[in-house]
Amino acid sequence: MSYLTVKIIHLTGLALTFMGLAGVLGSSAAAPAASAPRRLFMICHGLGLIVLLLTGFILALQLGIGKNLPGWIWGKMVIWLLVGASAVVARRLYRFQIQILVWFLILVAVAAWLALYKPF
């Protein structure tokens, strides 16, 4: 697959992940009890995370990065773990919607900065 095709799939995974997170946050605020829509949003979040991880490593390979991963990739992997844990935070702490949405925005901004500038 070409680099741009993989990048489009990667960005689609990003959209799916954060669509799922926002849906979990909204459905938890609307109805704290477990519901079918929240389950669907959790599935979207999980599938998005898998797509992000797989396409992220494919993109790294296409950039010629082999065994020794640079620091910016390690940073993106930490962000990936934080995004994965954010679903639990969104589900349990839905009372803090604004703060959680700002947290999501910060995670996306830092990940984009790492990907674009590759500072270390």
- Distance, in Å, from the CA atom of 76 to the CA atom of 111, rounded to the nearest integer, reads 6
How would DSSP label each residue in 43-97? HHHHHHHHHHHHHHHHHHHHTT--SS--HHHHHHHHHHHHHHHHHHHHHH-GGGH
- Distance, in Å, from the CA atom of 95 to the CA atom of 29, rounded to the nearest integer, reads 7
Asked if residues 94 and 25 have their Cβ atoms less than 8 Å apart, the reply is yes
Range of the domain at 15: 3-117
The reported pLDDT for the residue numbered 75 is 98
* Total domains, the chain: 1
Instruction: Name the residue with higher pLDDT: 94 or 20.
Output: 20
pLDDT 10s digits, 46-82: 999 999 999 999 999 999 998 899 999 999 999 999 9
